[in-house]
Structure 1
Amino acid sequence: MKELFYYQDSMMKQFRAKVIRTGINGERPYVVLSNTAFYPTGGGQPHDTGFIENLRVIDVEKIDDEIHHYIEGNINSLKEEVVGVLDWERRFDHMQQHCGQHILTAAFVELMDIPTVSFHLGSELVTIDLATEQVTDEQLALVEKRANEIILENRPVETKWITKEEIPNYPLRKDVSVDEDIRLVIIPDYDYNGCGGTHPTSTGQVNAIKILGTEKMKKNTRVSFVCGNRVLKQLAMRKNVLSDVARQLSVPEETAATALKKVLNEVKATEKALEDAQNHLIEYEAKELVANRTNNIVACTFENRTVQTLQKLGRAVVSQHSELICLFVANNEDKLQFIAARGVNVKKSMKEISTAILPLINGKGGGNDTFVQGGGEKSISAQDLLEEMKKNI
């Protein structure tokens, strides 16, 4: 482990090695080299990508004592000695994020005595789960400030291999999980941690840390953040969004939030007024339907009326007369939907109607004795379905 190129020199971008063997895992061809700078997935850090000669490396994993480089292309084209070239932008990004995680995690311990229980390095964001149910905005601001102070000081990031017996000599942030090949990543006088990942050689190379948000995860708190070049990408994305919002609102960016809040309040007021108007129309429509009833049955078909609207209209109808039964069917795009409702003095169960007609349309429904709704296939017409409902009264 100690002799692997990615441990000897984390800044190595290109290397030479011999092909030890090739193989196929499932349908994926792979190469095993005499040494490698390609980091395999592990410890929360994703694998490297790049090229071995002209073959693209798409995945790297450690299996037993071997590093498998999964490639695209003909593995038989490889010579005995090959050149490996890392996708350096990807590798350096991973190193920035991983080292930034160490710095941020150590800041939470130093300032709040809150340990990190897990870490995930995603393609867009990095997250740590803290062993606490709540973190305040003030705490986040203090931790972020401290983490960026450590970056600005440009402290060295050192690595050291130690034995199990030497562990008590170092103030480790958490217990190590292995007994052999114990590798420490050290930021002197700040953080001492067992870690098998790759890191830059100084904290200054992390560039910056920005916390983006938190969310509750059972009894823990997940903190999302970015480091280095990802901070610039996030800033550019958020700048573009803010500029677009400000442009559409025709206001300066600094007042966009206030203007947007005003617009949303106006939208809510408009929606409330529209809902009140629709309810008045439903009441008016219900009175008209009741006036045209036949034998205390209000039955009607509709085109493109949502089941929610049918429910409101049906309830409005039966609320006007205790002896009424209301039957509605709507022809909605690719399906039929229906409701059946009864007045308070009607004994007939609406569930009996639903049970009888649902097989006709291969449908599903729900409700109770007083009100049911459902829907299904257009295997018959809306009018025919309504007639079947009438037959079951």
Structure 2
Amino acid sequence: MELQTLLKKQISLTEWLEQIGHAKSGEMRQEDNTKRARMETLASVIPFPFDKPTIFPAQDVFRGSAECLAYIQEHGNDLCALRLVPRDQRLPKLRMRGFTVHEVFKGWFKEQKIDHSLYDAHFIPHPSDHLWSSISVLNEQGFFGEIIADSHEKLTQGFYENPKPIEFHFDFKDWRLSEKNEAALAELKKIISFLEVSDTELQKKIKKVLETSFVKNYIQGYFETTTSSQYGLWFIDYNRILPALYSHKSLIPSKNTETHEKLSGRTGSPGMTRGRARIIAPNEIAEAQLSKDEILICDMTSPEYVPLMKQCAGIITDRGGILTHAAIISRELGKPCLVGTGTASKQLKNGQNIELNASLGYARML
């Protein structure tokens, strides 16, 4: 399946969590729907660049209010992302990106079968290039995640090609990167500088208005950023719930050491299991069934793989990273998951008995 086709099929982390019946999926939906209001609140207290939207009631967009038409007239040729954010949190958020404001208004928006009175339309500037993108968690274990010189969905969804993500970890003293890259390190230092608040009075204010916490003078949270030549560095997500899913484990970068007998990767979800390899390509998902002693092998898990992820003993992927949506879901399912092996679907054969030790970052044939 082509990369662009795979990316179009991706869903938000909230939707992944809903597919597995996660207890906090409702909280996550609320947290996701309010992320830009939260970032705007933070930006009112400290310098915090983010992708600030222009917001209209969806009904005004549909009817073509004077204010909305004036915005379209001024920004019609600008690329945008459009989020239809529900006022009723039980409703789904609808979204698209990469088209001009005029194209969205004339096309995608009018195709949505919704009650416009129940939604707000968030028009968000969309850069034409991506110099850097990052996903990260900042908690008691430090500041860790991945950065790539490409668009951010390559990190959240895991379907990267070249360049590949660089993993990083900062323990509040020293930086570790999975490969030496001074430009990436400079970008990471810039990102974390916006999360440091030394003034105790400002910390108290932020804690009060955002119900958040600090560690070593840094704001705890899950963050996504993009940097473009047009807009510079922007935070595009700030989530207060996700860090708890990683509170017990520090994800420290390490290089793969693949041999003929052993596949090395990154810990998407810890654990160890043994079983038979089962390679499932995207075009085989619909007809596939796995037994509880089979280990799912694939290029990268997409939402269609969720039923198989529930059935299998463990998961090994060629691509993907430590904070991809699929890795988080594997952790919540309690399934050992090894990501970013590079060649698992090519090196392993169906029916081979293998040992998967995701905690230590390897799989080997028995």
TM-score (norm 1): 0.26
Which structure carries more relative contact order (alpha carbon 8 Å, separation 6+)? Answer: 2
Counting helix residues as a fraction of each chain, which structure ranks higher?
Answer: 1
| Greater C-alpha Rg | 1
